[in-house]
Each structure stands twice: as C-alpha cells, then as structure tokens.
Amino acid sequence: TVASYWAGVGGTGDAPRCVCGSSLIRVSCEQRADQFIRQVYPQVRRDSDRFPEFRQQIMRRRRSIAICDLCDQHIPFLVGASGIWTCESGMATILHAESYDVCDRCFAEH
C-alpha cells in the first residue's frame, strides 16, 4: 500500500516500533529470504556460491517467506511485488523468540 511504502522510505518520521521496542523495517521479500537464510543456515556465507542457490530453493519451494504475527496469515513470496515489516532485532530478543513479521495489510490497519 502507499502508506506502507511511505513509512518504509521514512516519509512519516520515526520508524514504527516492534513489540520488543526495536524498530520495524520494511524489506522486500528477497531481503527477508536473505535474513531467513542467515538465521537458519548461518554456515552459508552471503558471499558464497551457495547463497543464491539457497535463495532460489526458498523461492521455488515456499509459498510464503513468513507468517504475519498479527493476522497469522502467510505473507506471499512475490518477487518485487510486496514487502514485509520485520523487526530489526530479528531473533535477538526474548520478547519474540523468532523473527517478528507484519504484512502490509496489517501494518496499514494497525
């Protein structure tokens, strides 16, 4: 949505906050896939030849890259067509043991 895009590029001032207090950042599905790979497969370095292979596998095999923590719906993996609001802290907080993701629809509604 326009509101999600504008907030993602800094059009509203302060970044929206996650439940843990860190900032929510809007990333592309490709960027969220990269974060997922780094979290689940830390042994695969981003500059390795295997990293793009992992991303391609995720894009082919998964119908979504994340589940929205507000509506519990899958966030579709649509290259270049959608974004995901995710906590900049990733899994580095006790307040959400996994990453915290919000779809554009929920972001606009809440």
Helix (H, G, I), strand (E, B), or coil: what is residue 56?
A: helix
Token pair recorded at residue 30: 């490709």
Chain mean position to CA 13: 21
> How big is the chain by its Cα radius of gyration, in Å?
14
Q: From CA 65, how far away is CA 80, in angstroms rounded?
A: 13
Read off the pTM.
Answer: 0.74
Say if residue 30's pLDDT is above 80: yes
Beta bridge partners of 102: 85
- Residue range 39-61, pLDDT digits in tens: 888 898 889 888 988 888 877 77
Burial environment of residue 23 by CB neighbours within 10 A (0 to 12, 13 to 18, 19 or more): middle
